[in-house]
Amino acid sequence: GAGVSQSPRYKVAKRGQDVALRCDPISGHVSLFWYQQALGQGPEFLTYFQNEAQLDKSGLPSDRFFAERPEGSVSTLKIQRTQQEDSAVYLCASRRGSRRITGELFFGEGSRLTVL
Amino acid sequence: QKEVEQNSGPLSVPEGAIASLNCTYSDRGSQSFFWYRQYSGKSPELIMFIYSNGDKEDGRFTAQLNKASQYVSLLIRDSQPSDSATYLCAVKRGTDKLIFGTGTRLQVFP
């Protein structure tokens, strides 16, 4: 597709359930980012991939959060044993290059997770 | 202190006026600075980036950067109701990640 595609767009989970959120970046984009955006807040960095390598996972809030990008294209963000505080929009973004000072991030529409 | 600070607003301006959005950052090592616009329920989209001190103009938008004061701003001239959105300031630090502020909600009224 032409843009970053995320699925599902909406997910309702019961507390304690595991969820998986998928991101399909723009074809050929090397860099992929996951952000978490709570209501009324700016996006908070979670993790970053360059191709299949996860170069920075400093933003993952706990060991319940796990991300992968095994073939350097599609990425999955997995949240285990979801808690109510995990409720947020999870944004995926991709960028064509890797270490470009002004490279633009292209965001997907996000996956809105609600944990009951 | 948050790494990127913005006034959450809302900032209300009449149509045709200049809207001025401000952002401060704490890390002097920050290299480049971005303004994203986010409509309600939508994803952020890039408006402008700046990495040199001074002004950078693009149509109705002007970004201003003052690294000594650790301050970046966005001016929107001839504001339109369609400019009503949340404006996110982002700072590129370290390797490649962007750090975002909480955003300023702009309302342009007819």
Nearest residue to B44 via CA among A45, A62, A97, A12: A45
Per-residue pLDDT for B30 more than 80? Answer: yes
Q: Alpha-carbon distance A50 to A73, whole Å?
A: 10
The answer, yes or no, to whether residue B11 has pLDDT greater than 60, is yes
- Amino acid identity of residue A48, one-letter, is Y
Cβ-defined contact of A33 to B42 (cutoff 8 Å):
no
**Mean of the pLDDT values across residues A15-44?**
95
Distance, CA of B11 to CA of B86 (rounded, Å): 10
The residue of chain B nearest to residue A42, with distances taken between CA atoms, is B102
Counting Cα atoms < 13 Å in the Cβ hemisphere of A59 gives 22
The predicted structure's pLDDT at residue A90: 98
Contact B8 A35 (CB under 8 A): no
- Taking an 8 Å cut-off on Cβ atoms, the answer to whether A45 and B99 are in contact is yes
The minimal CB distance from B43 to the residues A44, A55, A110 is found for A110
Q: Is B51 in Cβ contact with A98 (below 8 Å)?
A: no
pLDDT (tens digit per residue) in A30-70:
999 999 999 989 999 999 999 999 999 999 999 999 999 99
Query: Which residues on chain A are in Cβ contact (under 8 Å) with B8?
Result: 40
**What is the pLDDT at residue B74?**
97
| Interface contact A56-B95, CB threshold 8 A | yes
A79 with A87: CB under 8 angstroms? no
Res B90 pLDDT > 90: yes
The amino acid at residue A55 is: L
Residue range A2-23: average pLDDT? 96
Residue A93 has pLDDT above 60, yes or no: yes
Nearest CA in chain A to B105: A40
H or E segment and range at residue A75: strand A75-79
